[in-house]
Amino acid sequence: MKVALTIAGSDSGGGAGIQADLKTFHQFGVFGTSVVTAVTAQNTVGVLAWQALPAELVTRQIDALADDLPPAAVKSGMLGSAELVETVAAGIARRRLPSYVLDPVMVATSGDRLLDRDAEQLIGRRLVPLARLVTPNLEEAAILTGREVRTPADMERAGRALLELGAQAALVKGGHLPGNDVVDVLMSDGMVRRFSRPRLDTTSTHGTGCTLSAAITAGLAHGRPLERSVEDALDFVQRAIAAAPGLGHGHGPLNHFVPAPPRPPTDGW
């Protein structure tokens, strides 16, 4: 069985963070492990409080897993502080963790900030060059590249800028653009692909970015090509939103129990 690792914050509401990641890993047939970077007190309405964990404890978690349960792919989400950005970058490089998917979480779906401002540019300098894939939304792409991102053409330019910063590939997510369709742009090695799907009329969007990056990570852990992993993940998220259980009074969670794409027969189970 393949192992996938999430390095992210804990969401007490269960819709995002490591809770969403581990549920997604399970649906994709990989064994999920986690490095907790922060603990949040949140629900579907908003984030009431959060606290980053000590850097030494984050390092010890990374080492514990690398020593005994080495991942085939890894993702990071909420890191919270500049110190933890440095800590995670050092851990990924030192332990040579493979197929790293960087979800540069900065703001929650509710609008609450989940990253200190002094850490934003540090992500571009320290984590982007380590990434197999970076998955920013429009706001995150604008912060990382220092340019406005308001159209699909802007998304392509932002993707190129992220590749210039050292990422192997970039998936710029267009869910916040107006229109009847949602457009995401994948760029890698001179390849540009736009994914388009109908926009769903729902407020159940809490944890979509976490779920998407976790699903891509699971695909990479299985050894699937990046483009297929992205396509499978986008399909999974679309169906998870469509089947959302309608929980809470704000931005509700997805349904992480919709079927994922079939596992490859080489997995042997």
Catalytic residue ranges: 173, 205, 207-210
Task: Lay out the sheet containing 3-11: strands in order across.
Answer: 47-52, 31-42, 3-11, 73-76, 100-102, 133-134, 169-172, 181-188, 191-198
Instruction: Please tell me the distance from the alpha carbon of residue 100 to that of residue 97, in angstroms, as a whole number.
Output: 7
Residues in a beta bridge with 192? 187
The dihedral through the CA atoms of 107, 129, 7, 91 has a sign that is: negative
| 143 membership: H or E segment, kind and range | helix 138-145
Among 82, 61, 48, 81, residue whose Cα is nearest residue 18: 61
d(CA 204, CA 109): 10
